[in-house]
Amino acid sequence: MTDTTVTQDPSQALKRRLAARVRDLRKGLGLPRRALSEKSGVSPRYLAQLEAGEGNISITLLHRIATALEVKVENLVSENAPWDRDVDRVAHLYRAAPEEVRQKIRSLLAPQNPAALRAGRICLIGLRGAGKSTLGRLAGKALGLPFVELNRDIEEHTGMPLSEVMAFYGQDGYRALEAEAIARTVEKHDRMILAVAGGLVAEEVTYQQVLERFHTVWLRTSPAEHMQRVRAQGDLRPMQGNPAAMQQLKSLLSARTALYEKAEAQVNTSNRTISGSLNDLMKVIAAKGFLEAPAE
């Protein structure tokens, strides 16, 4: 008895699958063949042959077509169908988006339990001289947590002191480095205490990232004590040649108060000793359960 079974040519099956997927994707995007040709750099005649299941296309041309159709090249030839074209298109748009847009997308797609997002991370905010560095370091030591001062992290990452960072990168460049440092810190630590510069709260995207990924505490004090503590640190810049420095400080504090009030908790260090303020901070951390594992 003669065997009349016909074995299907695998290459023909691949060509048909490729033809159908290119054709369907092109039509799904509303692209005439000539428009796809312009996007991919592949001639309309060659595209017509491809969609008809004819000819042998090189991997280079196939990659151009996949890029123009906003999908991965493997999705055009894989035997595992169907695939979600929208997923590939969103991925393509995400890769092309600026970092602030990608941050918002990540935030939308992240787990929605705020406590889980913040884990055991605590961030101290407030104007310079409120005690962020001193209290952050002491609280970290008492709680057995790493303490990170964001400006120091930026200095280590760039290999230059903050004054040179500001001179070299400018204000906008520094703010970009600040955002990168926040993301780096979140990636590295699930439990820690962070102190940030007083002006970070004025950067909407970066501050939102802090509010989402850290339990925040506003360390506050009076304008007079802010100025006194900065001078005690040996920095006379706020006062030198500027008799209106105190009024400017008051205006700055007033302008940022609404932003600082977004913090989950506040600790007033005015007229308090370091040990007293540290005790107040430790009480807030315990009362708010900042270091407790979030409920599932």
Q: What is the mean pLDDT of residues 72-88?
A: 66
Length of the chain: 296
Q: What is the pLDDT of residue 7?
A: 52
Q: What is the pLDDT of residue 143?
A: 96
Q: What is the pLDDT of residue 9?
A: 67
- Residue of higher predicted confidence among 279 and 294: 279
- Which range scores top for mean pLDDT: 72-81, 180-189, 231-240? 180-189
Q: What is the pLDDT of residue 286?
A: 96
Binned at pLDDT 50, 70 and 90, residue 262 comes out as very high
Q: What is the mean pLDDT of residues 259-284?
A: 95
Binned at pLDDT 50, 70 and 90, residue 1 comes out as very low
- Percent of the chain at pLDDT > 90 equals 37
Q: What is the mean pLDDT of residues 90-119?
A: 73
Q: What is the pLDDT of residue 238?
A: 46
Q: What is the mean pLDDT of residues 32-49?
A: 88
Q: What is the pLDDT of residue 80?
A: 59
The residues that bridge with 265 in the sheet, in sequence order, are 217
Q: What is the pLDDT of residue 73?
A: 77
Q: Looking at the predicted structure, is the pLDDT value of residue 293 above 80?
A: no
Q: What is the mean pLDDT of residues 75-85?
A: 63
- Report residue 208 CA to chain centroid gap: 10
What pLDDT, in 10s, does the model give residues 195-211? Answer: 999 899 999 989 999 99
Binned at pLDDT 50, 70 and 90, residue 265 comes out as very high
Rg (CA), the chain: 29
- Helices 223-232, 245-260: crossing angle, 10 deg rounding: 110
Q: Which of 46-50, 83-87, 259-263 has the lowest mean pLDDT?
A: 83-87
Class of residue 291 by CB neighbours under 10 A (exposed 0-12, middle 13-18, buried 19+):
middle
What amino acid occupies position 255? A
Return phi, psi of residue 104, to 5°: -65, -40
Q: Looking at the predicted structure, is the pLDDT value of residue 241 above 80?
A: no
Q: What is the pLDDT of residue 244?
A: 72
* CATH top-level class of 10-96: mainly alpha
Torsion angle in degrees (nearest 10) through CA of 124, 127, 133, 139: -40
H or E stretch covering 167: helix 162-188
Distances (CA, A) of 239 to 3, 48, 213, 243, 293: 100, 75, 36, 7, 45
Is residue 182 a contact partner of residue 206, using CB atoms and an 8 Å limit?
yes
Architecture of domain 108-288: 3-Layer(aba) Sandwich (3.40)
Q: What is the mean pLDDT of residues 144-153?
A: 95
- Which range scores top for mean pLDDT: 89-98, 106-115, 149-158? 149-158
Q: Looking at the predicted structure, is the pLDDT value of residue 236 above 50?
A: no
Q: Looking at the predicted structure, is the pLDDT value of residue 3 above 60?
A: no
Reported as half-sphere exposure (CB side, CA atoms, 13 A), residue 17 has a value of 16
Q: What is the DSSP annotation of 51-107?
A: HTT-S---HHHHHHHHHHTTS-HHHHH-SS----HHHHHHHHHHHHS-HHHHHHHHH
- Structure tokens that stand for 134 in this block: 């001193």
Mapped onto helix, strand or coil, the DSSP state of residue 163 is: helix
Q: What is the pLDDT of residue 195?
A: 97
Where are the domains positioned within the chain? 10-96, 108-288
pTM for the complete prediction? Answer: 0.61
